[in-house]
Structure formats: C-alpha cells, structure tokens
Structure 1
C-alpha cells in the first residue's frame, strides 16, 4: 500500500470530518448546551442531542460521543393523554455527563440521567438510571458490569496478543503486514521518543493540548 495514498484517504478525511464535528459542537454551544473541551462527536450526521431545552444538557471534558448517540432531555408520552383526556403533562429533566467518558455506538441516554467521570458505556446501551464514576456499564437498560480500572488492566494485558493475531491474519491472507495496518496498535511500537516518525496524529496521545 502506498503510504501517501493511505494518509490522503484516511488521515486527511478524518481531519475533514473532525472539523465538521467541531463545528457541530460549536453550534450546540451557541444554542446553550454546556460542552467541555476535548469532547468529540464521531459523526455529526448520526447523532441526536435534544437541545429543545439546551440548559438541561451538560457534557464534560474529553467525552466521546459515538455514532448513533442519543441524549434526550424530555419525552412526549403525554401525547397520548391529549387524545384520551385532553390533558398534557410535560416531562423533562437534566442530563449530565462527567469527564472522560466513552459512549459506544448507538447509546441512548434518557432524561434525568447522570454519568460520572471515567466511565465506558457499551454499544447499544440504553441508560435509564445514573451511572457512578469509574464504571463500565452495558445493556438495556444499562447496568454496571465492572470498574473502569479493572477494564483498563484487562486491555493492557490483551492488546499485544490481539495485535499478533491480526498480524498473523494478514500473513495468512498472503501479504506482509505494514506499519499503517497497526495505527491503532501503536503502544506496540510507538512511544514518546519516536511518535513523530510516524505519519499519524499520535500527538493526540503523546503531546495532547492542555485544557
């Protein structure tokens, strides 16, 4: 694979998408949503943040909002009451996300929920009750299944074996592994002393902006 082609197709495209997602975040801020620095929207085209009452949404620093994220501050279930009893009772409550949170794809966060600092919410989860800091939660409804620290320790032991498995899969396919195949596996070969040698924005990890 030509490294210049790879960078042009993947890295530059990511920067373009990142710029658009940053503009989306700025739009939400102008509407009154509180969003901390370092927060990332993975795909602004596939996300729903209920800013009908923007003061009810508060998102901390370094939060990753993956594709399919939905943050809801109200529901419209009272629509049924209008038909049956000519009554409408609004339902809305604040949503607060702390700092350093990862939301997997297609996570829905319902009104009245808070998620503490250092949390990981698994793919497809629906968060109907608050999640304490330092938790890994998953499911419908989302429940705490472990701690943030335990999960980090688990990943620190498994990532090398997974990189080797991937390298063997590439070899089995009939070609030699390339450095760019492992841009996500950088702990195997990139550190603070050599990250500038690679054509990938590793400065996000080794020289992050100071907020």
Structure 2
C-alpha cells in the first residue's frame, strides 16, 4: 500500500485542478499520481476514471482535444499523452516507461490550412503497452492486446493481438 500522505496529496491536487480548469477536468475516486502535469487549452478536456496511478512524470495535454482515461490504469515513468481531437484509454490498462500517445501530426505537407492533422486514438480495456512505445493518430488497439517494447503503432490492432514490432 502506498503512503496515506500520497493519497491526501493527490486528493488536494485533484481538487486544485478541478478548481483551476472547472468542468474541463474531471477525476474519479482515489488517484495516486506522482508528478502529474496537466495542461488544458481551448475547448480541451481531461476525464480520469477511478484508482489510476503512475510512477514518475505523467504529462496530459489537451490542446483543444479530449483525453479520457478509464479506471485502474497504470503509467510508468515518462508518459506523455497529447490530444487535439480525442485519446480514449479503457479500463485496466498498463503502460511502460517513456510512452508517447499523440492523436495529431504537424501538417508539414500543407495539405490543409490547419497546423495539425488529427484523428482519434482508442485503446480498449485490459491492454498492456511496453516501454518506449509511440502510438500515433488514427490508431485503435483492441481489447486484451499486448504491444511490445519499442514499437511505433499506427492503424487498427485487432482484439487479443500481440505486437512485437509494427512498422508504419
């Protein structure tokens, strides 16, 4: 069991974030986050389920997009989730060190007048994602899938998949 002081510190921190961001930030019961960094811009929002935890830095950046994390998720050190559209993570997911999840790319080809090209990212329930994984825009990872360390993931990963290396 973690220190009761950590639970108290997190309850206070969640309360301050709810005050700061108003309805743009929601968090369920009992979060045990260590070094949680939250940024919400424009019409962005962040919604956290209950009983989530991390070890080390976790960055959540909703730059006009929505980040939704279910219940009982764990993020190891150095995780970063950034959204201009939508990132949704189901329940009971575990993530290794140095995770990057982004639902957008810079529009370097100038295909439109927008600065970013974006499409939703969805990670279903009960997934395990290893260390040093990058999950790119337009990705859907099916329930009970395992993504091995060092993978770069883009596209549809069917339920129950075990990905060792996926090239984009």
In which range does the TM-score fall when normalised by the shorter chain? 0.5 to 0.7
Query: How many correspondences in the alignment?
Result: 121
Shift, 1:97, TM fit:
0.3
Q: Does 1:20 align with 2:52?
A: no
The TM-score with structure 1 as length reference comes to 0.49
- Stretches of 4+ aligned residues off by more than 3 angstroms: 21-25, 79-82, 87-90
* Structure 1, gaps ≥5 residues long: 1-10, 143-211
Which protein has the larger Cα radius of gyration, Structure 1 or Structure 2? 1
Shift of 1:141: 1.4
| Matching of residues 8-87 of structure 1 within 5 Å | 19-21=32-34, 28-29=46-47, 32-43=66-77, 46-53=78-85, 56-76=86-106, 78-81=107-110
Task: Report matched runs for 1:99-138 at 5 Å.
Answer: 99-138=125-164
Q: Does the 8 Å CA contact 1:21/1:40 hold for their aligned counterparts?
A: no
By percentage of residues, which structure has more helix?
A: 1
Aligned partner of residue 110 in structure 2, secondary structure: helix
Q: TM-score, normalised by structure 2?
A: 0.60
Structure with the higher strand share, 1 or 2 = 2
For the 8 Å contact 2:79–2:98, the answer to whether it is kept is yes
Gaps of 5+ in 2: 7-30, 41-45, 49-61
